[in-house]
Amino acid sequence: MSSQSFEFNASNLEAWQKAAVKSAPGGDVSALNWKTPDGIIVKPLYTAEDTANLPYANTLPGFEPFLRGPQATMYAVRPWTIRQYAGFSTAEESNAFYRKALAAGGQGVSVAFDLATHRGYDSDHPRVEGDVGKAGVAIDSVEDMKILFNEIPLDKVSVSMTMNGAVLPVLAGYVVAAEEQGVSQDKLSGTIQNDILKEFMVRNTYIYPPEPSMKIIGDIIEYTAKNMPKFNSISISGYHMQEAGANQALEMAFTLADGKEYVKTAIAKGMDVDDFAGRLSFFWAVGMNFYLEIAKMRAARLLWCRIMKGFDAKNPKSLMLRTHSQTSGWSLTEQDPYNNVVRTTIEAMAAVFGGTQSLHTNSLDEAIALPTEFSSRIARNTQLIIQEETHITNVIDPWAGSYMMESLTQEMADKAWAIIEEVEVMGGMTKAVDSGWAKLKIEAAAAEKQARIDSGKDVIVGVNKYKLAKEDLVDTLSIDNVKVRDGQIERLKAIRASRDSAKVQAALDALTASAESGQGNLLDLSIQAIRLRATVGEVSDALEKAFGRHRADTQKVTGVYAAAYDSAEGWEQLQKEIAEFADQNGRRPRVMIAKLGQDGHDRGAKVVATAYADLGFDVDMGPLFQTPEECARQAIENDVHAVGVSTLAAGHKTLVPAIIAELKKQGADDIIVFVGGVIPRQDYEMLYDAGVKGIYGPGTPIPASAKDVLEQIKKALA
């Protein structure tokens, strides 16, 4: 059999273009181009010409600039670590989950803490009544931490902890729990997130203002470099940025710029960059934009190497970007939720093709409630199947040399680098965050994305296309918040009764003095206090005396949603109805968008506020972390027609009835209450019985919710 060789050349490309014109819409091949949310043009065809001048298209894994992976052999020798990010209810229940997960193939423990712990409150604090044990495990002291890791050998199992605000007492509790298990600090392996800058942009589980928060980070990097050489002192996280609405280029740029700022902070403490940089790690979200996610992870390693060379790092480990990844929670849908198994699988494969070092796969029910044991097993097995059945692990960076992927990797790198340079002009990421600029960039991207979904430009299967006529209920995990809180309060009473109070107070006073003077290491002093049975809340309060508690700005973007939502007929009709309401009532319909309790995830609240304002509502944004009493008072003072409660952290069963009761108590039961966010359908009846007038779960088009709210306001005024 004879074979005919084919050689790429200009005439062949011209022939392809002629063939493509015949099937392209309107005979225009450029109509096949795809413009990504990042503004990058992705062509339908790439050729050798696209990679001819790329500087890094022919590099090797394990060598600078590490574009193809930080290790030379990657998964061919050692696959990524399978992690299961979990935590709920009590330390006992979470411990049982971790032990089962490890026995079933999990290879590390990733701890999710409840919002009370994140915000530095003990479980008996009045501000956290609806938050204890709901969206993570409640941890008040080292006694809870010891239970959390009971029969989990901390010298053998690596532990990842997502903690930023109350990072000092939580990390100290882990260290002391290990000591009392017989494991010395130098044997501990794992990661503490400790990434406070992103909290001010997106997740909002901060406690102290930016400047003292950076001092805390510097102290942790310093202490762990000296005493915990196997432990990663910071995980610089882009995950929550993408979850809050950032596109891939923004996520990568802001995360690397955060990392750059943390390196500067450690160097300012007199540390040599090569003494700590090898223990820095990163954390990416991996969503449904398959090609861009792979390119993002490859480009991030390239740029981090460039950044670290700028600090004159010499150790190759200092130049490597190592990362944990997690499939997107935001891409999960409440509607037709079994589709989420497919979404998670696709996202997991993107993370693997991108070269992650560890991975958590989300469960199918996480757009509805906390994951069940059944859904968690499917999520974990998704990784096991990729590792054990597909043979994907046998090839290192299989996308290398792809005309499209190499070109896209470079474009992603260039796009992100331009943003990083913009941040540098502003004086670095701390200033970019402090000014509110970075947060608004992410919120604008979130509003634009939501508008594209609501108008049908971006298809979400089961949500805005191929919808089920009837949705079946999915079994969900429900936490008895009252029972958990009562148990935590009893344990706190016992600890406080049995400890040496004078010694505890002296240790807490030493923490306050160090925070005030800048002398001493705050992690070292926190460990001393935790050994004496000081609580998470007490350590946090001792630091708050010196640092104060940060209060966020409530500014919002305007015009972005309307610009991206161009289904003009329905939009313009709704604007007309709102204008007519204003003519008839002497003012526009006024709503207050509120976040109650310690849930700082405000993507939904900000997007709804932006869209409602673009439609013509008067919109007030309540500050984060309000109590029902504070929310009711502000709503009455601002004379609003409606309060919209945005909830993602399972506090709705406690906090929503509380705001309705409080409005009634303060003589304002004419103000209607509506709710949006992650709410199991099993809870709808209870909320309606409590007096809620509208419930809008994930996937509800914002104009549809706005129309319904307007009708409810009209009924209340009739």
The catalytic residue positions are: 85, 239-240, 595, 599, 601
Residue 452 makes CB contacts below 8 A (sequence gap 6+) with 458, 564, 565
Residues facing residue 592 across a β-bridge: 620, 643
CA 193/CA 207 separation, integer angstroms: 15
Under 8 Å between Cβ of 212 and 255: no
Strand locations in 600-652 (E): 618-621, 642-647
CA angle 399–403–404, rounded 5-degree value: 75
CA 627/CA 632 separation, integer angstroms: 9
CA 687/CA 697 separation, integer angstroms: 13
Q: Which residue has the tokens 């001819």?
A: 52
Handedness of CA 427, 431, 437, 438 (dihedral sign): positive
Under 8 Å between Cβ of 148 and 94: yes
Under 8 Å between Cβ of 598 and 635: no
CA 203/CA 200 separation, integer angstroms: 7
Within 10 Å of residue 379's Cβ, how many Cβ atoms?
24
Q: Which of 656, 678, 659, 677 is nearest to 668 (CA)?
A: 659
Q: Which residue has the tokens 């199992």?
A: 157
**CA gyration radius for the chain?**
26
CA 187/CA 192 separation, integer angstroms: 15
Give the side-chain half-sphere CA count within 13 A for 632.
19
Specify the 3-state DSSP secondary structure of 152.
Answer: coil
Q: Which DSSP symbol is given to 199?
A: I
41-42 and 34-35 as β-strands: parallel, antiparallel, unpaired? antiparallel
Surface-to-core class of residue 82, CB atoms within 10 Å of its CB (0-12 exposed, 13-18 middle, 19+ buried): buried
Q: Which of 326, 332, 341 is nearest to 369 (CA)?
A: 332
Side chain identity at residue 522, one-letter code: L
